Amino acid sequence: MADAVTTQVLLDGERLYIGKFTNISDGTGEAGVVKIDVATLAKSRGFACNGLKINRIWASTHNLEVQILWKATTDSLAWMVTQQTFYEMSFDEFGGITNNAGAGSTGSIAFTTVGAVAGDMYTIIIECIKTYATS
């Protein structure tokens, strides 16, 4: 068996990406699963998206934690959504959470669940500001 997961792209525009992610766990959980792959996002004026800044997070968790990670050689924690959470966090006052992953950074975002047992679940909506390669 595997966790029942869904990804829904709500917006993949020139400036913003908004995605909705759900998981109903069977107890196996997720480990470093890429949820937003910058290589697949829409281009702007012919330039490929090469990174994201997390601008807002809407989250609801039931009995598990979700680590939101910057993908890299060694993934870097961007934000932790704790157990029994229901909130909206906004980072737009300072321009969003920037990627600090370092070596091997892909610009993508992944999730790891912590403490998942059968029946645990999450729903997370992430709004990201897209950045682009200029050459």
- Cα angle value 62/113/48 (rounded, 5°): 115
pLDDT of residue 135: 61
Question: If we measure between CA atoms, which residue out of 133, 132, 126, 134 comes closest to residue 7?
Answer: 126
CATH number at residue 46: 2.60.120
Confidence at residue 66, expressed as pLDDT on a 0 to 100 scale: 98
Domain of 67 in residue numbering reads as 4-132
How confident is the model over 43-63, as pLDDT tens digits? Answer: 998 899 999 999 999 999 999
pLDDT tens-digit readout, 30-44: 999 999 999 999 999
Specify whether the CB–CB gap between 73 and 30 falls below 8 A. no
The count of structural domains within the chain is: 1
Sorting pLDDT into bands at 50, 70 and 90, what band is 1? low
Whole-structure pTM value: 0.95
Order of all β-strands in the sheet with 76-81: 33-36, 109-114, 65-70, 76-81
Tokens describing residue 103: 């070596």
